[in-house]
Structure 1
Amino acid sequence: MNDWTGIAQAVSAGGWVVYPLSLLAVAALTIMIDRAYVFWRYARIPGDVSLRSKHRTGEISGNEMAHPRASTLPARHAWSRIDAILSDHEETPLWRTEARIETAAANIERDMSRGLWLLETIVTAAPLLGLLGTIVGMMRSFRLIGGDGLVSPAGVSSGVAQALVATAIGLVIALIALFAFNYFSRRIDRLMDEIESLANERLGDIRLSRETGNAGARP
């Protein structure tokens, strides 16, 4: 209990700058929870490394590996959106299918990145806002120092406390937001690499089946 009381007192000593910092903290937390749910719900590609190794050794076909239960995934799932294009290729030229996949991949990347720009802004804004609180706190302390010396020791220490607390809160928020931003950015890169790999394998199968069918149709 004493620890929480000390934290509350330290935060209250931060002055008015604690309120905008709190808003930034709430915004960052909201974005992190939202993106965590989105990636968990719409970005998990079924399949593992062993399945890929089986495909390489010929134990399973390319279609089995590159078609990871898309029918059981949500309609907004990243792979479902790609699979819907790949499944509708019978009467579509291959170049058109590839163009549609590129467009869908760009839309998926945009959807997965939604809100990350704000998280990146918080990484920069939180320390600057904390620095502003530091400057205000130090100015408050200097105003209490008159020409004859120290006028109010309690007031000066309060101003210094405000300066230190504002800086500390801003740095903590920025660090958490930075780790979250880098994590989600890395997840997006991995997702796009996985989609590209799976799509290329399916396109290769489609191209091979068409070439084989054309060769079989020749007299």
Structure 2
Amino acid sequence: MQEWTGFIAAMRTGGWIMYPLSVLGVLALTIIIERAYVFSRFASAPARLFQPTSADDGRLDKLTPHHAFRRMAAPWLPGSDSPLWLREASAQAIASQIERDMGRGLWLLETIVTAAPLLGLLGTIVGMMKSFQLFGGNGLVDPGGVTGGVAQSLVATAIGLIVAVFALFAFNYFSRRLERLMDELESFANARLSALRLQHEARGKQG
């Protein structure tokens, strides 16, 4: 309870700049939670899917329709008469769409990483200006007001840095997770493509 009271007091000390910083913090937290759910539900797959055969593709039916690997498996389904080059082009288009879907909101996290410390710096400037205005021609007019202005500048800077660091770690994690997903999808597609080429070569030799 005391920690919550102290947090509220710090928010009040920071002044009006705390409102946009709070909005950025809540927005960053929302994006992090939403992206964590998306990656955990739509970006994981059994290791067997990376084998160069399609014998274990039945596992794909257990994945949700919007799962990245189930979407990538669509061009490689057996029974299709489409040429290999058309399947490759379709797979590339699907991969691009998956990358856009999974990376949704990451640009906003990157923006928060830059905007939060700048807003904190703005709060610092406002607080220091408030303190300097209390110095008159005869010296210090209101010592309490000066310390309040300094406290405002320090709180705004601290909150801005906390939000920025929090968003930075999340952005780097999700960016790396997205890169790994795209590598896995590429390996998955290459395995299916290799299997189809072997099948075509075997049919050609039999013919």
User: Structure 2 length normalisation: TM-score?
Assistant: 0.95
CA contact under 8 A between 1:47 and 1:68: conserved in structure 2? no
Unmatched 5+ stretches in structure 1: 56-60
Matched residues in 1 for 2:60 and 2:109: separation? 31
Q: Are 2:88 and 1:98 equivalent residues in the alignment?
A: yes
Residue 89 of structure 1: how far off its partner (Å): 6.2
Q: Are 2:29 and 1:6 equivalent residues in the alignment?
A: no
1:146 corresponds, among 129, 136, 153, to 136
Corresponding residue of 2:61: 71
User: Structure 1 length normalisation: TM-score?
Assistant: 0.90
The 5 Å alignment of 1:181-192 reads 181-192=171-182
* Structural RMSD (CA): 1.6
Matched residues in 2 for 1:119 and 1:73: separation? 29
Change (3 A) 1:89 1:124: farther
Matched residues in 1 for 2:99 and 2:79: separation? 23
Corresponding residue of 1:206: 196
Unmatched 5+ stretches in structure 2: none
Q: Are 2:53 and 1:62 equivalent residues in the alignment?
A: yes
Matched residues in 2 for 1:25 and 1:103: separation? 35
- Structure 2 residue identity aligned to 1:44: S
Corresponding residue of 1:58: none
- Structure 1 residue identity aligned to 2:24: L
The sequence identity of aligned pairs, in percent, is 58
- Counterpart secondary structure, 1:105: helix
- Structure 2 residue identity aligned to 1:19: Y
Residue 196 of structure 1: how far off its partner (Å): 0.5
Residue 6 of structure 1: how far off its partner (Å): 2.2
CA contact under 8 A between 1:126 and 1:174: conserved in structure 2? yes
